[in-house]
Amino acid sequence: MPKLRGEAFWRETLRSAHYVVAPMVDQSELAWRLLSRRHGAQLCYTPMLHAQVFLRDANYRRENLYGEACPEDRPLIVQFCANDPEVFVQAALLAQDYCDAIDLNLGCPQMIAKRGHYGAFLQEEWDLLQRMILLANEKLSVPITCKIRVFPDIDKTVKYAQMLEKAGCQLLTVHGRTKEQKGPLAGVASWEHIQAVRKAVNIPVFANGNIQCLSDVEECIRKTGVHGVMSAEGNLHNPALFEGRNPLVWEMAEEYLEIVRKHPCPLSYVRAHLFKLWHHTLQVYQHLREELAKVKTLEGIIDVNRELKLRCQPNMQNVINVETLRGLHWDQPCSVSISAVDNGSKGVLSTFADDVELSGVMAHLRDRATQRDLDKLKQWPVGTSEV
């Protein structure tokens, strides 16, 4: 059977996926993918895998892809970083039976990628990239896709995308930031670049960047015309983002931990996910942050999560009606927790601003809020809520 290409590949194999979980190192593991799929994600990527290591190390293959068959974890795209055509293709050949496409990472901007000469640090080596994609397109039984970052210049970005398409790329994810935009310099992703690429190529395009809630997804699709939208940070803070829901932190944490029981992963992954989910709350309860950092077992992590829930739950019920919180949705332009708190509650929070338990309530609200909501929170006269 000939492999599908372009639009047909997106429509039939990827089931017209609009909501996409990004490849995230040590974070888009099977358990997290399954949680995300339960809550609206239609397509997931594996964490970025090193082609050279995947090729030579059977344990690495087993731990990252071969471990267990999981029919509900499809469609799935396996992402590799590589800088050698033969190594990339040989690794992809070992992975192709376990996924629906192979993605070449051309977007990682981190120093480790610079040292290893992969990711976004290959974006000037068009001849090498052409050879890698041409060979993969020729040898693999599944389509080859790419994830890129943009150049400052839109025209150069468009030519870059067209080159990848011509070489055989069947779907392109465009992160609307340059490789210099990272960490404290990340800034805002350029949807203008993404829109220009979408108009210039004839293959499906996913957008990446500036996605914190469902209304961002809808706005991005409307403004850029892309086929789908990929989320990384937004998904890590709220795995129900694509459902348009903003569930209580402990609900997502407990559900994730139950999945981990069935589909184990390294404890470091689990710990990292809970640090993301409980980010602001852990700044209030420092002793629980320290406990989470040093605990050595999954049961220990579950205990810390339970304690965080016990600390937050009663105080939230005292200050804000929990049923109101349960009704919060992302689908009202990211107006999450702020609109749910009436003026009387604001007064209570202001009056008891120095109470650490109420600071914990505010922290939990922040763990369920978007940046736009946090900007509103900053306007509240609540002394210790800035956690």
Q: pLDDT of 183-194, one tens digit each? A: 888 899 999 999
In this model, does residue 341 exceed pLDDT 50? no
Q: What is the mean pLDDT of residues 261-286?
A: 94
What local confidence, expressed as pLDDT, does residue 184 receive?
A: 86
pLDDT band at 327 (very low <50, low <70, confident <90, very high): very low
The predicted model scores a pTM of 0.85
| 3-class secondary structure per residue, the chain | CCCCCHHHHHHHHCCCCCEEECCCCCCCCHHHHHHHHHCCCCEEECCCEEHHHHHHCHHHHHHHHHCCCCCCCCCEEEEEECCCHHHHHHHHHHHHHHCCEEEEEECCCCHHHHHHCCHHHHCCCHHHHHHHHHHHHHHCCCCEEEEEECCCCHHHHHHHHHHHHHHCCCCEEEECCCCCCCHHHCCCCCHHHHHHHHHHCCCCEEEECCCCCHHHHHHHHHHHCCCEEEECHHHHHCCCHHHCECCCHHHHHHHHHHHHHHCCCCHHHHHHHHHHHCHHHHHHCHHHHHHHHHCCCHHHHHHHHHHHHHHHHHHHHHHCCHHHHHCCECCCCCCCCHHHCCHHHHHHHHHCCCCHHHHHHHHHHHHCCCHHHHHHHCCCCCHHHCC
What local confidence, expressed as pLDDT, does residue 344 receive?
A: 32
In this model, does residue 144 exceed pLDDT 50? yes
Q: What is the mean pLDDT of residues 347-371?
A: 43
The answer to whether 108 is a known catalytic residue is: yes
What local confidence, expressed as pLDDT, does residue 318 receive?
A: 56
pLDDT band at 10 (very low <50, low <70, confident <90, very high): very high
What local confidence, expressed as pLDDT, does residue 157 receive?
A: 98
Instruction: Identify the active-site residue in 44, 81, 99, 108.
Output: 108
